[in-house]
Amino acid sequence: MSNILFANANLVLDGFTELQKSKYVLVSGNYIQKVSSDPIECAGATVIDVAGKTLMPGLIDAHAHITGLSLSPKNISFPASQIALASANYLQRSLMDGFTTIREAGGADYAIARLVTEGSIVGPRIFYSGKALTQTGGGADFRTPNELIDPCGHISPFSVMSVITDGVDEVRKAAREELRKGAAQIKLFASGGVVFPSEAHSTIYEFSEAELGAAVEEARARSTYVMAHVYTDEGIRRCLKAGVRSIEHGNFASEETIAMMSECGAFLDPTFISLVQRIESANANQLPESIVNNLRQTVSRGKQVYRWAKRHNLPIAFGTDLWGPDARESQLREFEVRMELDTAVNIIRSATIINAELLMQKGKLGVIAPGAYADLLVVDGDPFSDLRVLLDPAKNLKLIMKDGIIYKNEVKPN
């Protein structure tokens, strides 16, 4: 078992509002063994003198989609090999931007996760949802009115992202199937979307309360939880009543519903950059003006929801929801959007310790502490005083370690 000693590091530690200077961190195998203010003696350890740079936990993206090849999630026409290649590229680039963990919110499965675990693909550790559950005509049913079945003759949403399921028994079976295949959590769509609205009437909520409850019950049976794509106030309330733990987006929640989320112990995962990126690329992707206006309204409303979430001490996660390789280039820009809404300390907490708690990995991810996984970044600069240093990883990200393995090192060992 190899030992690596980080010396003279300024640490990002939870509970502190400024860097803790001149610390020592010993990594043994894939775990952090010791954190000290005094030099650590460890015979044979590889010593990396950080020389006053910042040592911080690896970043966590709580809402990622790695199987996209274009702006649209309707990707059934692409061959599996092309989707796999796009996924591998996404994962590698995400890791090189400092994301050592992602929660994949629909599309990835055990096959891609296994390749990462085995080291065949370089990328963050993956907490995958498998196929997201959507009702007929729901937010992830991408069929046009004249499409009934896919080319193979199946009733299909025309995407590897989701599966169409209706009724309590079907929802229960679909949830069990994704959990059987190793899903870390269940993802479902509980309201319509804002980018690809159905050509029928847009939905205020999706799935009955009994259907939502069935998914939650199956997740709890395996000691995990449900994350729900949901924008509307009514949809969020129905999710909370059913026991959904992770509210994705939530842009049209009322303050009363945000207070209800806090009482229920739910997490809010706003994903601003996906909306901003779609607005910026609207001309290139020929989005109609009606959709662009809806996106602008959704961003504006989401910022108000964020302020209410802070007022009610709601745990705010850090997710991006970017689809496709061009969009993925904006992954770090979620920090940029949030800078007008929150402090650097709070935003870093969202991308580390709060996301770790959301993923049910408290004490294992998102912290520099004994017993935590050795997912570490060395940053040239102080992100507490200038969060922008994280936006230029090519210049400022000097070392990337995931699970005790160094994937980038511009800090030479002694």
- The DSSP annotation for 316-365 comes to B-------SHHHHTTTTHHHHHHTTTS-HHHHHHIIIIIHHHHTT-BTTB
Number of domains in the chain: 2
| Torsion sign, CA atoms 226, 230, 235, 237 | positive
Q: How far is CA 285 from the centre of its chain?
A: 24
Domain span including residue 156:
59-358
In angstroms, the CA 67 to CA 250 distance is 23
Same domain, 53 and 63: no
Q: Tell me the pLDDT of the chain (414 aa) as tens digits.
A: 789 999 999 999 887 788 999 999 999 999 999 999 999 988 889 999 999 999 999 999 999 999 887 666 776 767 777 888 889 999 999 999 999 999 999 989 888 999 999 999 999 999 999 999 999 989 888 887 877 776 655 567 777 889 999 999 999 999 999 999 999 999 999 998 877 655 555 678 999 999 999 999 999 999 999 999 999 999 999 999 999 999 999 999 999 999 999 999 999 999 999 999 999 988 888 888 888 888 999 999 999 999 999 999 999 999 999 988 888 999 999 999 999 999 999 999 999 999 999 999 999 999 999 999 999 999 999 999 999 999 999 999 999 999 999 999 999 755
Domain closes at, from 358, 378, 399 = 358
Query: Across 246-334, where does the E strand assignment appear?
Result: 246-252, 267-269
Same domain, 17 and 66: no
| Residue 414 domain flag | no
Same domain, 404 and 339: no
Same domain, 266 and 399: no
Same domain, 300 and 258: yes
Question: Which amino acid, one-letter code, is at 390?
Answer: L
Closest to 251 measured CA to CA, from 321, 184, 313: 321
In angstroms, the CA 290 to CA 295 distance is 9
Angle at 126 between CA 123 and CA 129, to 5 degrees: 140
What is residue 286's predicted lDDT score, i.e. its pLDDT? 83
Question: Which amino acid, one-letter code, is at 84?
Answer: A
Question: Which amino acid, one-letter code, is at 258?
Answer: I
| Residue 325 domain flag | yes
186-233 tens-digit pLDDT: 999 999 887 765 555 567 899 999 999 999 999 999 999 999 999 999
The domain spanning residue 28 has which CATH number?
2.30.40.10
Same domain, 38 and 163: no
Closest to 163 measured CA to CA, from 294, 38, 97, 73: 73
What is residue 152's predicted lDDT score, i.e. its pLDDT? 55
CA distances from residue 17 to 105, 154, 238, 356, 397 in whole angstroms, order as listed: 31, 54, 37, 19, 21
Same domain, 256 and 282: yes
Query: Across 30-155, where does the E strand assignment appear?
Result: 31-36, 46-49, 54-57, 59-64, 99-104, 125-128, 132-134
What is residue 202's predicted lDDT score, i.e. its pLDDT? 65
Quote the pTM value: 0.95
| Interior/surface letters 277-305, b for 16+ CB within 10 angstroms, e for the rest | bbeebbeeeebeeebeebbeebbeebbeb
Same domain, 125 and 206: yes
Are 249 and 228 a contacting pair, CB within 8 Å?
no
What is residue 325's predicted lDDT score, i.e. its pLDDT? 87
Same domain, 349 and 375: no
